[in-house]
A = this chain, B = another copy of it.
Amino acid sequence: MSSPHPHASTDVRADRGPGASSAHEGADPQVLAELQSIRGTIDNIDAALVHLLAERFKATQRVGVLKATHGLPAGDPDREAAQIERLRVLAASAQLDPEFAEKFLNFIISEVIRHHVAISEDHRRQSPGAP
């Protein structure tokens, strides 16, 4: 580990770092070093995504409580259609496949609705007279 470029050494496979695994036995160490570098970027992006998703679910949790308290429906097709259209446009401008952006939002929304239904059921159990 005294090398200034440890990732470029042949030790990289023995280390089993994020850029090297049993899938890459015998591959060029320079290629593995580049793979490891890109994977470091992917891991940083993933950490940011997880933290943003955590904040997003805090926000939708507040929406869920608001809807349950006031007897509003868990899903909202008009809102979802507007969100999908907006994200498709943003995706296109960011060079992300708009189809994937739509699939992604549907994936998130289906989880959110599952949470909203659970919040609504909890609320009904706690306040049987509420709408």
Contacts and interface: CB of A to CB of B under 8 A. Distances in A.
Interface of A: 16, 18, 21-24, 27-28, 31, 34-35, 38-39, 41-43, 45-60, 62-63, 66-67, 70, 72-73, 75-79, 82-83, 86-87, 90-91, 94-97, 100-101, 103-105, 107, 111
Copies of chain A in the complex: 2
A51 B91 CA distance: 7
A76 B47 CA distance: 20
Contacts of A77: 21, 23
A56 B31 contact: no
B50 A66 contact: no
A59 B34 CA distance: 11
A56 B49 contact: yes
Contacts of A49: 49, 52-53, 56, 104
